Amino acid sequence: MLSVAILAAGKGTRMKSKLPKVLQPLGGRTLLERVLSGCIELKPDRLFVIVGHQAELVKSKACHVSGVEFIEQNPQNGTGHAIQQLIPALADFEGELLVLNGDVPLLRQETLERLVSQHRESNSEATFLSAKLENPNGYGRVFSDEKGQVSAIIEDRDCNKKELENNLTNAGIYCFNWNTLKAILPNLSNKNNQKEVYLTDAVSMVKKAMHLQVNDVEEVCGINDRLQMAECEALLQQRLRKFWMNNGVTFTDESSSTISDNCVLGKDVIIEPQTHLRGKCHIGDNCRIGPGSFIEDSWIGANVKILYSVIRDAKIGDNVEIGPYAHLRPNTDIAQECKIGNFVEIKNSVLGLGTKVNHLSYIGDSVLGKKVNIGAGTITANYDGRRKHRTIIGDETKTGANSVLIAPITLGAQVTVGAGSTLTRNVPDGSLAIARTKQLTKKEWTS
């Protein structure tokens, strides 16, 4: 039997933020979400999150995870005190307790699996992850013999000068025999620099504690402040780009682009410089995205070209060209072969196959058929100051430059709208609509 407890009750004072530390974002997901997703695959019998500082907010961000149980720790008197709160909930539990720090977000599931299996094989009562760090400042130091048997973990603040030279650090990820830990927990003291009850002290109170040194020190980076957060973000981005490069994606200027780990990219995608993919994105095969583009929560088909554009909550079909400088806002659905040109804004609209909106237009709350051609500067006037109205445009209709379509309005199929028209009434299929004043020319005006 395996239980998991994630420590997420602390305030994160060193972040200097109103947001609890475990809710800070990294690669578009919170630290807590990352730690949770790392251990869910282990399929623990019980999964606890220890909450305290802004508990309701933290709970609301994690309660969608099936089977998660929240335990309150008030006040927050240290990591050992946090685990003491589990005693009633695990009174009859037999097995191992895996403890994860909520601020160590880059751990791989394989490493956790290795920790649990090594713990079971070694017959120790506690096993935890350690790392030799170039800069161990802030981390607890691990003191052990050559076989990996540990005598103590001493916190950075409690170390003397000699002890601080030891760069073998505690990663904050532990596997304990619960029955042993349960008996020790009430005896932990707070006689240390911070006057807190440390979980790390439990390690020197068991008969046999072992450490397991990780191969990849990046996995155990803890986040206490914004500097460490930036370091972790950089590591995560490197990891993600490397993964996609190994799966057929080209980055022309790797370090200038960012990507969230909910993105799926096809083969032969080219990500040009300064391009950012956020949230949940799908990018089809052969797309060229960027330079200078921002795409969030969108589905992009195959062979799409997007240049210097911003796209949010949109769906784009195959072979579409977008930009430069287009802005596609939520609920935009663009069919295959469309062209969206410079300085075009589209929102809450559907565009049919092969439709073109090439220059300087606003299309909002509209449905455009197939092969529609929207002339430069066409505006759907969708807002009357109180409510939004829809514009419907049939197949193969063309609007002239500088047309204003005052919604609600329907233009049929194969309609032509004269340039400079302001239309307020529906136009039937196959008609020409012109709504502008006749030109007056006064000859010899200047003579």
Site for Ca ion, rule CB under 5 A: 103, 222, 224
CA distances from 311 to 333, 337, 361, 379 (A): 11, 17, 16, 19
- Cβ contacts of residue 211 below 8 Å, gap of 6+? 127, 128, 129, 130, 142, 144, 148, 150, 168, 170
CB of 155 to ligand UD1, least distance (A): 6
In this structure, are residues 394 and 368 in contact, taking their beta carbons and an 8 Å threshold? no
Q: How many residues line the site for ligand UD1 (CB under 6 A)?
A: 31
Give whichever of 88 and 385 is closer to ligand UD1, judged by the CB atom.
88
171 binds ligand UD1 (CB under 6 A): yes
Distance CA 242, CA 251 (A): 10
Give whichever of 155 and 321 is closer to ligand UD1, judged by the CB atom.
155
Six-digit token string for 330: 């939520």
- Closest CB to ligand UD1: residue number: 140
Binding part of the chain for ligand UD1, among 1-9, 281-289, 380-388, 428-436 by CB under 6 A, reads 1-9
| Greatest distance between any 2 Cα atoms in the chain | 110
In this structure, are residues 251 and 237 in contact, taking their beta carbons and an 8 Å threshold? no
172 binds ligand UD1 (CB under 6 A): yes
Residue type, 50: I
330: left (phi over 0), alpha (psi -120 to 50) or beta: beta
Catalytic residue among 64, 282, 359, 389: 359
Contact string (CB under 6 A) for ligand UD1, positions 209-228, x = contact: -------------x-x----
In this structure, are residues 411 and 363 in contact, taking their beta carbons and an 8 Å threshold? no
CB of 222 to ligand UD1, least distance (A): 3
402 binds ligand UD1 (CB under 6 A): no
84 binds ligand UD1 (CB under 6 A): no
Give 233's DSSP letter: H
**Does 64 qualify as catalytic in the annotation?**
no
DSSP letters spanning 326-363:
EEE-SSEEE-TT-EEEETEEEESEEE-TT-EEEES-EE
Give whichever of 232 and 287 is closer to ligand UD1, judged by the CB atom.
232
24 binds ligand UD1 (CB under 6 A): no
140 binds ligand UD1 (CB under 6 A): yes
Name the residues that contact ligand UD1, by CB under 6 A.
7-10, 22, 50, 52, 73, 76-79, 81-82, 101-104, 139-140, 153, 155, 169-172, 198-200, 222, 224
Query: So which residues are the catalytic ones?
Result: 359
